[in-house]
Structure 1
Amino acid sequence: MKKVILAAALFSFTFFYSQKNQNYLVISYGSSCCGPPSEKPVISYLKEFKTKNHLKRLEILQQSGLGREGEFKLYVGTDSLTDNQKRRLTRGLMAAVSNQNNSRKQKSDGTVFFDSATTVQQQDLVNAKNLTIYKK
């Protein structure tokens, strides 16, 4: 029993304190009837941004289980970026989200929400449920 508690404590400690970022951009995926849209356009933009700017890593967290139809949020860490890179990242994310929303089926597909002025602090995410590191 002690080993299980120790392993759980070690896992939670390493998960929360290994995160280097303090500020995150929030991308929300909502549903209208048939589930949220795919995160692939946004993730492909983030991968492209990472390679173009020669970043070693770009921290992305996913919070799932926010609704009945699988709504979720993505949190993108921005502390390792310069001011110029942050501006380019937000402009590119706004373009990717608007393209995805414009190409969706109006009556069946969900929408993607992104507000470049909204940032979330790490202390706000400490108590968030169903928060995992995005790996796909």
Structure 2
Amino acid sequence: MLKLGDSLPEFLGTNQDGKEINSEQFKGKKLVVFFYPKASTPGCTAEACNLRDNYSVLKEKGFQLLGVSADSVKRQKTFTDKYELPFDVIADENHDVINKFGVWQLKKFMGREFMGIVRTTFVFDENGICIQVIDKVKTKDHAAQILD
């Protein structure tokens, strides 16, 4: 998994509208990349809506937001439309972006072990250097964690 001081990995993904999103677009900008397990599930919805509700404050502080999950473009589109998300989310079905950030890991839930996305947020400065890793995401108060 990426850690403090690491550089923003080069990536290319497809957003909810089928448009390409790449790391080059964020050069010289502060960037928040948040990984979530599955669109439209309770925790992921709470997290995305908290970021949506605090989007203007995050933008004022200069942050660009980008969500990533292994969902399809169609599922991401439904998610962003239903909850009126003002930021892009990447549909990373092939795990290209997910693997570059190192968030596809062994998880345990109710006695079961399986591979999945570990809910994690990375904050990068204008130079593309990771200045914050949030691995204990508070889904209902996530913007405050980023802004602290």
Same fold (TM over 0.5): no
User: Taking CA–CA contacts closer than 8 Å with sequence separation of 6 or more, which of the two structures ends up with the larger relative contact order?
Assistant: 1
Larger Rg: 1
Structure with more strand by fraction: 2
Structure with more helix by fraction: 1
